[in-house]
Amino acid sequence: MIEWDEVRELALAMPEATEAVSRGLPHWRVRDRGFVWERPLRKADLAFLHLDDQPWPVLGARVEDEAVKFALAEMDPTVFFTTPHFEGFPAILVRLDTVSRRRLEEVVADAWLAVAPKRLADEWYAQQGD
């Protein structure tokens, strides 16, 4: 299972990423735009998912758009899901107990790219080719 320290490591490895606290939980940002965050399930989420309590840690991650969110949830529902709280918002929820490290790296990078300024993202892409 992925631990929060691993999420922190991956998030802070992205250019200009910072860590903040929002509602007492870690939230990683690039130039004041959140890209991944710890997202405990709320009572309404638990009811929607037909769960009695929070069975696993959940990461919220920005995505490019809702089409990407729905594609991820359909492609691998054991890792990705959404709730009505996120209707109309480009973010996916990620189960840290089932996501692989490699897939989490992709999720974090894609989330960062979804909110990073274009010039900064272009610089990051150029460095990936080195």
pLDDT of 63-73, one tens digit each?
999 999 999 99
Cβ(32)–Cβ(67) below 8 Å: no
Given a cut of 70, whether residue 8 has pLDDT beyond it is: yes
Residue 74, pLDDT score: 96
3-state secondary structure of 2: coil
Residue 90, pLDDT score: 97
Which residue, 60, 74, 75, 70, is CA-closest to 111? 60
Cα 74 from Cα 55, distance rounded (Å): 21
Question: Which helix (H) or strand (E) is 61 found in, with range?
Answer: strand 58-62
Lowest mean per-residue pLDDT among 4-13, 96-105, 115-124: 115-124
Given a cut of 90, whether residue 5 has pLDDT beyond it is: yes
Residue 125, pLDDT score: 85
pTM of the shown model: 0.93
3-state secondary structure of 89: coil
3-state secondary structure of 117: coil
Cα 5 from Cα 56, distance rounded (Å): 16
The sign of the CA dihedral 85, 88, 90, 92 is positive
High-pLDDT (> 70) share of the chain, % = 98
Residue 80 CB contacts under 8 Å (≥ 6 apart), including other chains: 72, 73, 92, 93, 94, 95
Given a cut of 80, whether residue 129 has pLDDT beyond it is: no
High-pLDDT (> 90) share of the chain, % = 87
**Chain segment 34-87, per-residue pLDDT in tens:** 999 999 999 999 999 999 988 899 999 999 999 999 999 999 999 999 999 999
Residue 130, pLDDT score: 58
